[in-house]
A and B are shown apart, each in its own frame.
Chain A
Amino acid sequence: MPRVSSAAELEGLRKDILSRREPDKPCITLCSGTACHASGSTEVAASIEEEIKKQGLSGKVDFRRTGCHGFCEKGPIIVVHPEKICYLQIEPKDVPEIVSQTIKEKKVVERLLYTDPATNEKIIHESEIPFYKNQERIVFGSNGEIDPTNIDDYLALGGYSGLAKALSQMTPEQVLEEIKKSNLRGRGGGGFPAGRKWEECRNAPGDIKYVIVNADEGDPGAYMDRSLLEGNPHSVLEGLTIGAYAIGAHEGYIYVRQEYPLAVENVGIAIEQAREYGFLGENILGSGFDFTIKVHRGAGAFVSGESSALMTAIEGRVGEPRPKYIHTAIKGVRDRPSCLNNVETWATVPLIISKGAEWFAGLGTEGSKGTKIFSLVGKVNNTGLVEVPMGITLRDIIYGLGGGIPGGKKFKAVQTGGPSGGCIPEEQLDMQVDFDQLAKAGSMMGSGGMIVMDEDTCMVDVARYFLDFLSDESCGKCVPCREGIRQMLKILTSITRGKGKEGDIERLEELSEVTRDASLCALGRTAANPVLSTIRYFRDEYEAHIKEKRCPAYVCKELISYYIDPEKCQGCMICFRQCPAEAIIGGKNQIHVIDQEKCTKCGTCFEVCPPRFGAVSKMSGEPVPPPIAEEARMITRKSEAK
């Protein structure tokens, strides 16, 4: 492939690629992101290739492995083009039917379609599935169309036209102005205006400057940056190159976690291809602008996602935040001006340049423009990645796209912003999601994690869980973060163990304040959010634990007991046999009794007791009734009594 050396040549190449494509030729696309890989897409891919051969369709049908479609709950996902028929949860055994029916006979395989749980209707097209219906997939939408290892797929969809426009029609200052006008805010955590950061870096003294992609996504349950890098790496490279042009940088870094092997691989391939085509390297698109990108693989420390820690790690040292009060945009990697944004932010840039700042600013709210990708996980029916316009309500995300809470359970809270975000209760579900509203509610946007929790979640235990995570993941350098987290975790652990004391809540609040105000970096300054937000909205749960030694959600083992109701027990021996602690006393036709001394509170009896009996219950905050007298345990059945 010859190098593309002007914007006009790029358009020529694009026309050439499109002319070689037959829009009516059948094409099977298969989601091959990490989530679908885990649910078996590699085996499905093999059987698609095999079946195409077997049914004599070699050359007559295309097959494309694409990036993540987002609806991971229902993966692996197949879309058959040109009709765009969407099949979900595909296994290798489904493939022969898809090829013989849909490709050959042009018939829809009903059983593989999505069934709307509300109407029981079958839905043929991806875009009509409720999960996708209210999404605005401007950044993430191409993922399902593109083979990430094939640059032609990206070019066919208009890829690199933003870069061509920037280099051929705009000065660096104009590019910067466009980003400032768009009001793009960083998608990685703090929501700092990208344009202002770029400008600060551009104006900082120094000949050598760097642009950096932060792909050190470390929040538990969050994987939007991973999916973007895996599924559409060129969009990130294009955005980074545009940023470099505006800032005046000629070297870029992609800091990606080593735990993301597919992202590392696909980014490497993309960089190689972009270089061959002339989108990276010297004299890009004949503009005279030079830019190269290096991939730096991170070792997995959560704190290395903090910008100054990440830059220290790029320098080859331990990834610890820098204590200096100077922006990394002025003094970053090797003390040179360094502009860092996260994956999603960079991937948004080409769209803003192509379509204009006004188009972008037309989406979203007053203070937060555009869209945001959220990783919707936890106790919600449709888990996966959703891209929605800023300003959508939490209710629309959780109930509209997410399909509500499974098992008829009640919603309790949604945790946003990763481990140092906060928990938002039901009464705020109609809140419009944007940077400022989330902060006002005591949480944050973070990188877009969204963990839904139902009524079976103990909010004190949730706070304890996140503080436990942070106690491992803090770098441990400064006292307020390391010691504040240590003491908060101790208090939270003792509360969940029924050893909470009067004054613990106030102690937590006081520790939170010092950790927030005096810590060295953002990890410490936000570490108390899970504690403060759960105290703010679920203080009654803390008080129940401390004062009544009661866990309202029946989660904290030391505060709950299992009890077999003698009126309901049928002496079926199922729990008796399954109890791993041999804590159940009973026999055939004898009412079972739990030996509370031996019970480890694993909950097995509760789970295995047949629902028609429902004899096992959980108790908290009240004494377990004394066991029924041994002589009264024999069950006399009505039929036998006659």
Chain B
Amino acid sequence: MSEITLEIDGRKVQAEEGMTILEAARSVGISIPTLCHHDQLEPYGACRICTVEIESRGRTNLVAACLYPVEQDLVVRTRSEKVDKTRKMLLELMLAHAPDAPEMQELAREYGADKDRFEKESSFCILCGLCVRYCAEVKKNNAIGFVDRGTRREIVFVPEIASEVCWDCKECFPLCPTEALQASFLLTRALTSHSSSAEPESKG
């Protein structure tokens, strides 16, 4: 692995080829907010809250830090007017779904996001996919997945699998940036509507 030098927020940073901007920044203690990122999981790039501004080959661009690979002489700005404005809007869009999540509220304070900017559609879920991906990639269970697409996309437990594996696991709950409300709710619903549902009382 060859060494790469890039600049993050005016600081020269040494990184290895193949690292992402996020990894390089964190290695020197520069923090970039994330919501859908998890060290054990494949990068996903969905929440875009890690958006940073880069200068590369004479052009300025917004990119997702969790995915963008470091380049020699890359210039990264983790906070700029444009970055902050983008993050503020992204938070406002997500807060319409999960207005009360503490992690989101903390970010909202940092970026001056107004949780009431957009009409509420309290699904609690911001579709970060941490539960879905953790279940698939780490637990290899695929007990929860996405259904539908576009603005109708949602997460749903697969009753046949969930009734077998979920009660003894529940490892996805603490991953949820909106406090697992949605996951537990959906799990319960899926189990109770399934004909051969497990009996949580006797097991739990």
Contacts and interface: CB of A to CB of B under 8 A. Distances in A.
B96 A483 contact: yes
A487 to B, nearest CB: 5
A402 B82 CA distance: 44
Contacts of A490: 118-119
B59 interface: no
Interface stretch (A35-43, A63-71, A279-287, A509-517): A509-517
B90 A514 contact: yes
Given A479-B126, A520-B48, A474 B151 contact: yes
Contact of B48 (A301, A303, A518): A518
Contact of A518 (B51, B129, B146): B51
Nearest to B61: A517
Interface in B105-145: 118-119, 126-127, 129
Interface string A285-312: 0000000000000000101000000000
A216 to B, nearest CB: 15
Contacts of A520: 45-46, 48, 64
B136 to A, nearest CB: 11
Nearest to A482: B151
Chain B contact-residue range equals: 20 to 34
A474 B148 CA distance: 10
Contact of B151 (A301, A325, A326, A476): A476
B150 A478 contact: no
A514 B63 contact: no
A489 B46 CA distance: 20
Contacts of B51: 518
Contact of A517 (B45, B67, B86): B86
A135 interface: no
A323 B119 CA distance: 29
A301 B93 CA distance: 25
Interface string B153-187: 10000000000000000000000000000000000
Interface string A49-66: 000000000000000000
A485 B67 contact: no
A636 B144 CA distance: 75
B57 interface: no
| Residue with the greatest number of chain B CB neighbours at <10 A, chosen from A323, A473, A479 | A479
Contact of A485 (B119, B126, B127, B151): B151
A104 interface: no
Interface in A475-532: 475-480, 482-487, 489-490, 510-511, 514, 517-520
B132 to A, nearest CB: 11
A91 B149 CA distance: 43
B93 A484 contact: yes
Contact residues of A: prevailing secondary structure:
helix
Interface string A448-480: 000000000000000000000011111111111
Contact of A479 (B43, B67, B69, B93): B93
B46 A479 contact: yes
B45 A478 contact: yes
A313 B49 CA distance: 27
A20 interface: no
Contacts of A303: 149
Nearest to A483: B93
Given A323-B43, A472-B150, A476-B148, A482 B127 contact: yes
A638 interface: no
Interface string B32-50: 0000000000011111110
B94 to A, nearest CB: 6
B151 A471 contact: yes
| Residue with the greatest number of chain A CB neighbours at <10 A, chosen from B46, B51, B90, B152 | B46
A415 to B, nearest CB: 21
B62 A518 contact: yes
| Residue with the greatest number of chain A CB neighbours at <10 A, chosen from B47, B48, B129, B153 | B48
Contacts of B129: 477
Contact of A475 (B43, B62, B150): B150
A514 B119 CA distance: 18
A482 B93 CA distance: 10
Given A323-B64, A480-B48, A518-B48, A487 B93 contact: yes
Contacts of B146: 476
Contacts of B149: 301, 303, 472-476
A324 interface: yes
Contacts of B62: 517-518
A11 B104 CA distance: 70
Nearest to B119: A490
B89 interface: yes
B90 A518 contact: yes
A629 to B, nearest CB: 45
B118 to A, nearest CB: 5
B89 A323 contact: no
A476 B127 contact: yes
Contacts of A476: 127, 146, 148-153
A486 B90 CA distance: 13
Given A510-B89, A518-B51, A520-B45, A479 B150 contact: no
A325 B152 contact: no
A470 to B, nearest CB: 8
A495 B84 CA distance: 29
A478 B67 contact: no
20 contacts: A323-B43, A323-B64, A325-B63, A470-B150, A471-B150, A475-B149, A476-B127, A476-B146, A476-B148, A477-B153, A479-B46, A479-B49, A479-B90, A479-B126, A480-B48, A482-B153, A484-B93, A514-B86, A518-B48, A520-B48
Given A323-B43, A476-B150, A479-B46, 10 more contacts: A472-B152, A474-B149, A476-B151, A476-B152, A478-B46, A483-B90, A484-B93, A487-B93, A487-B118, A514-B89
In the A-B complex, the 8 residue pairs with the smallest Cβ-Cβ separation, listed nearest first, are A323-B45, A476-B153, A483-B93, A474-B150, A514-B89, A471-B151, A486-B151, A518-B48
Interface of B: 43-49, 51, 62-64, 67-69, 82, 85-86, 89-90, 93-94, 96, 118-119, 126-127, 129, 146, 148-153
Interface of A: 301, 303, 323-326, 470-480, 482-487, 489-490, 510-511, 514, 517-520
